[in-house]
Structure 1
């Protein structure tokens, strides 16, 4: 399992794994100044990014054969997931504390998958919901993974 791929944005935001299994994923974010908008509240782009990252990992996790559990690294990071659609409903906001995103794969077929997520503050207040459709790309062949990209 490659734990270094696709982590730059997640690392920059400080989004941490709580748990991953074949049915759902949970991640948390400790808010700081870079997560806030000009009004001093959680930026909608951060919320949407949390939903997108969690949903794409949930889609990948349901296809992965790796062991899962608490604080598991990103499952099968060598298998790209592309977002096709993403809808976010903002219900409330927060200014500080820990924000949690829970995402689950809701269904799909061989290449197109559907996932949904909820974002809550540290008191369990629902801040946003989101759902999207994702395409799960085939695993790169070993010989292809080292070829330069034109």
Structure 2
């Protein structure tokens, strides 16, 4: 399954619910955007950590699909929150770190429109047999 086919199904899933938009995809980097609004905020008025985590997980999963040509499942996700993110445009970038036949380890980072680094993540994905 091609990543374009995968992304075509995302509109009606969690991806669509959050309002994420695909910016770019290649085998070295995936970029996803989100225009954070009131629905993405927690009770402190900053973007909820679950939203940021989901953005990073989705970007890394999309990169797995672009590289491997099929979906993988997250087996490990480590997130570090560095700066609060607020309403407005957010962008997540994902990069590969290590690849084997059945796994990929990646990193991702979320930045706001001013380039402030909000959080970083590493994850390992298992790619089931074709």
Fold shared by both chains (TM-score > 0.5)? yes
Query: Deviation at 1:120?
Result: 0.3
1:49 match: 54
1:18 match: 23
1:63 match: 68
Query: Deviation at 1:58?
Result: 1.0
Query: Deviation at 1:95?
Result: 1.9
Query: Deviation at 1:108?
Result: 1.8
Is residue 28–residue 101 contact of structure 1 (8 Å, CA) maintained in 2? Answer: yes
Matched, 1:32 2:23: no
Secondary structure of residue in 2 paired with 1:5: helix
Alignment partners' CA distance in 1, 2:58 and 2:85: 20
Query: Deviation at 1:6?
Result: 4.3
Alignment partners' CA distance in 2, 1:84 and 1:134: 5
TM-score (norm 1): 0.78
Is residue 93–residue 110 contact of structure 2 (8 Å, CA) maintained in 1? Answer: yes
Structure 1: segments with no counterpart, 5+ residues: 65-78, 140-150
Calculate the aligned-residue CA RMSD, in Å: 1.3
Structure 2: segments with no counterpart, 5+ residues: none
Count residues with an aligned counterpart: 125
TM-score (norm 2): 0.90
Alignment partners' CA distance in 2, 1:109 and 1:135: 10
Is residue 19–residue 35 contact of structure 2 (8 Å, CA) maintained in 1? Answer: yes
Matched, 1:5 2:12: no
Alignment partners' CA distance in 1, 2:18 and 2:102: 29
2:121 match: 130
